Amino acid sequence: MKIDISKLKENIGESEYYSIDEFLGDGTEPSGKIKWLKPVTGRLKLTNTGVSLLIEGEIHTAALLQCSRCLKNFTFPVDTTFKEEYFEKQDDESESESVKEQLLSAKDLSTFFYQGDTLDLDDLFKSSIHLELPMKPVCDESCKGICPRCGQDLNEGKCECKIEHIDPRWDKLKGFLKE
């Protein structure tokens, strides 16, 4: 989503409000692991603080994820809020070499920049949404997964495999009982 901020930059303390309703990219992530099922919807408030542009908002969407236990696809709703500051990027020509060589702090790594009169918020939306996605997605907390031996979905029924739960560190002790 690109927003024209030319009027907002001129008036310190002014705020503008926007509604969001659009897909991110072509509906899938480059990794292919996430497919967006709904457009991103929500509200934004942009405020000129005099030093930066403060962006506050909430967004909603739904993603198609694969369960890490049973490998079935399921819909995961995403609802998140964010509050970020965007600073205007200055020309690199005016910076001295010593300033360019300084180490970045942790705060610098999480800083957003804009240049010109257009603000592109796609990266902000994507990062906010990705922070809400689970590292190990599961379709249901009670999901039993699949059998490691035959691949049977244990949510649909038990398999006929006999699985011995023996700690492999104690496996060599079996030989002592046979002697």
Where does the pLDDT of residue 104 fall: very low under 50, low under 70, confident under 90, or very high at 90 and above? low
Higher pLDDT, 31 or 120: 120
Beta bridge partners of 84: 55
End-to-end CA distance of the chain: 73
Overall size of the chain counted in residues: 179
Band of residue 93 on the pLDDT scale cut at 50, 70, 90: very low
**pLDDT tens figures, 19-39:** 999 887 666 665 667 788 899
- pLDDT for position 136: 93
136-145: b (≥16 Cβ within 10 Å) or e = ebbbeeebee
pTM score, whole prediction: 0.71
Which of 14-18, 22-26, 95-99 shows the lowest per-residue confidence on average (mean pLDDT)? 95-99
- pLDDT in the model for residue 29: 64
Tell me whether strands 15-22 and 40-48 are parallel, antiparallel or unpaired. antiparallel
- pLDDT (0 to 100) of residue 156: 92
The amino acid occupying position 12 is I
Mean pLDDT (whole number) for 12-19: 93
